[in-house]
Amino acid sequence: QPRVFSGVQPTGNLHLGNYLGAIVNFVALQESHDCIYCVVDMHAITVWQDPTELSRQIREVTAAFVAAGIDPVKHIVFNQSQVSAHAELAWIFNCVARIGWMNRMTQFKDKAGKDKENASLGLLAYPSLMAADILAYKATHVPVGEDQKQHLELTRDIAQKFNNDYAASIAAHGYGDAYFPLTEPLITGPATRIMSLRDGTKKMSKSDPSDYSRINLTDDADQIAQKIRKAKTDADALPGETEGLKGRPEADNLVGIYAALSGLSKQQVLDQFGGQQFSAFKPALADLAVQKLGPIGAEMRRLMADPGHIDQILASGAARADAIARPILDGVKDVVGFIRRN
């Protein structure tokens, strides 16, 4: 039975990159799969978060999921810290994974910066918790943006090493030759990597200090239009062929955003706008972005006005997630040799 799991961190403003790289795919997969979408609050605190803001942002990501079209009744939406299987399995994976694997992760290197000794231990172990998030449900497919590819490879390495290290016990407990599946990343769609509006070589990111680098899902029409107007570009007209976007990261990014929002290919966008200046293209892009994101932002604001309802969605999702994860975790404990209460 294919099962989808993915998560989003409640660490700041959700932006167009999170939307096009992840949430759009979350919505589409609901038609064909059982889906579990998690607000990964335990990942968030690998770097310090203001407690009041964290609570607000957990609710905001939940509102974004629902506003974008995720159905929390047919599928599961919850926040990670409400299901203790994530933390329990992560500990076991901390003992399976190797420190060297973690040290090689580019996200750790980027986020820890120069002062690695001072990064939290949680930031180093982040991929181990991510493997636990996915494998606590034996999820087979994980939709993510391009930046998460390395972490998903590590999830497969951890699953494989667990399956090998405990092979005899797995077989003796009647689970055959593998306890965990090797999860497939789903890095699909035309927008697996949306870049900053200020620098076409950096990914659009929640933690970029400049709010002009990203379009937030909660931005109003004026903010969206202003950010696109101010987006960095070069001085040339748009090319007629996608080949002409090579070496022009900002132009490539804006054409890619237009393509993803409209459902067209980049070439189709260039068929329409090739030869035109950015002064003509940017207003068209702004109109499109407002048309697509405006209703989501409005629905998020409506949902955020009733935090009690959001908390109910999370509680119901957590109870259903726990019911799936609990027997899988019990099986792991048996395989490892722990004694547990029935």
Bridge-based pairing state of the strands 34-39 and 141-143: unpaired
Q: What does DSSP assign to residue 237?
A: P
Extended strands (E) in the chain: 3-8, 34-39, 76-79, 141-143, 184-186
206 is catalytic: yes
Considering only 36, 96, 131, 144, the residue that binds ligand AQP (CB under 6 A) is 144
Residue 194 interacts with ligand AQP (CB under 6 A)? yes
Residue 163 interacts with ligand AQP (CB under 6 A)? no
Whole-number CA gyration radius for the chain: 21
For residue 15, the minimal CB distance to ligand AQP (Å) is 6
Residue 323 CB burial class (10 angstroms; 0-12, 13-18, ≥19): exposed
Residue 127 interacts with ligand AQP (CB under 6 A)? no
116 is catalytic: no
Residue 205 interacts with ligand AQP (CB under 6 A)? yes
Residue 193 interacts with ligand AQP (CB under 6 A)? yes
203 is catalytic: yes
- Stretch (H or E) spanning 78: strand 76-79
Torsion angle of alpha carbons 140, 142, 148, 154, nearest 10°?
-10
Residue 266 CB burial class (10 angstroms; 0-12, 13-18, ≥19): middle
**CA separation for the pair 301, 310 (Å, rounded):** 12
| 203 annotated as a binding-site residue | yes
Residue 46 interacts with ligand AQP (CB under 6 A)? no
Scanning 5-13, 74-82, 91-99, 219-227 for contacts with ligand AQP by CB under 6 A, the matching segment is 5-13
Considering only 5, 18, 131, 186, the residue that binds ligand AQP (CB under 6 A) is 18
Residue 163 CB burial class (10 angstroms; 0-12, 13-18, ≥19): buried
Beta bridge partners of 184: 141
CA-based angle 291:73:76, to the nearest 5? 90
**Total of chain residues touching ligand AQP, rule CB under 6 A:** 19
Scanning 93-101, 192-200, 286-294, 306-314 for contacts with ligand AQP by CB under 6 A, the matching segment is 192-200
| 55 annotated as a binding-site residue | no
Q: What does DSSP assign to residue 46?
A: T
Q: Which residue is nearest to ligand AQP (CB)?
A: 21
Smaller CB separation from ligand AQP, 19 or 281? 19
| 170 annotated as a binding-site residue | no
**CA separation for the pair 305, 111 (Å, rounded):** 33
Single out the catalytic residue among 138, 203, 227, 282.
Answer: 203
Residue 38 interacts with ligand AQP (CB under 6 A)? no
Residue 206 interacts with ligand AQP (CB under 6 A)? yes
| 333 annotated as a binding-site residue | no
Cβ-based neighbours of 85, under 8 Å, separated by 6 or more = 132, 136, 322, 325, 326, 328, 329
Residue 21 interacts with ligand AQP (CB under 6 A)? yes
Find, among 136, 142, 114, the residue nearest to 6 by Cα: 142
For residue 202, the minimal CB distance to ligand AQP (Å) is 9
| 232 annotated as a binding-site residue | no
CA-based angle 288:292:296, to the nearest 5? 150
| 147 annotated as a binding-site residue | yes
Residue numbers belonging to the annotated binding site for L-tryptophan: 133
Residues that bind ligand AQP (CB under 6 A): 8-9, 11, 17-18, 21-22, 144-145, 147-148, 192-194, 203-207
> Looking at the annotation, which residues are catalytic?
111, 203, 206
Residue numbers belonging to the annotated binding site for ATP: 9-11, 17-18, 145-147, 194, 203-207
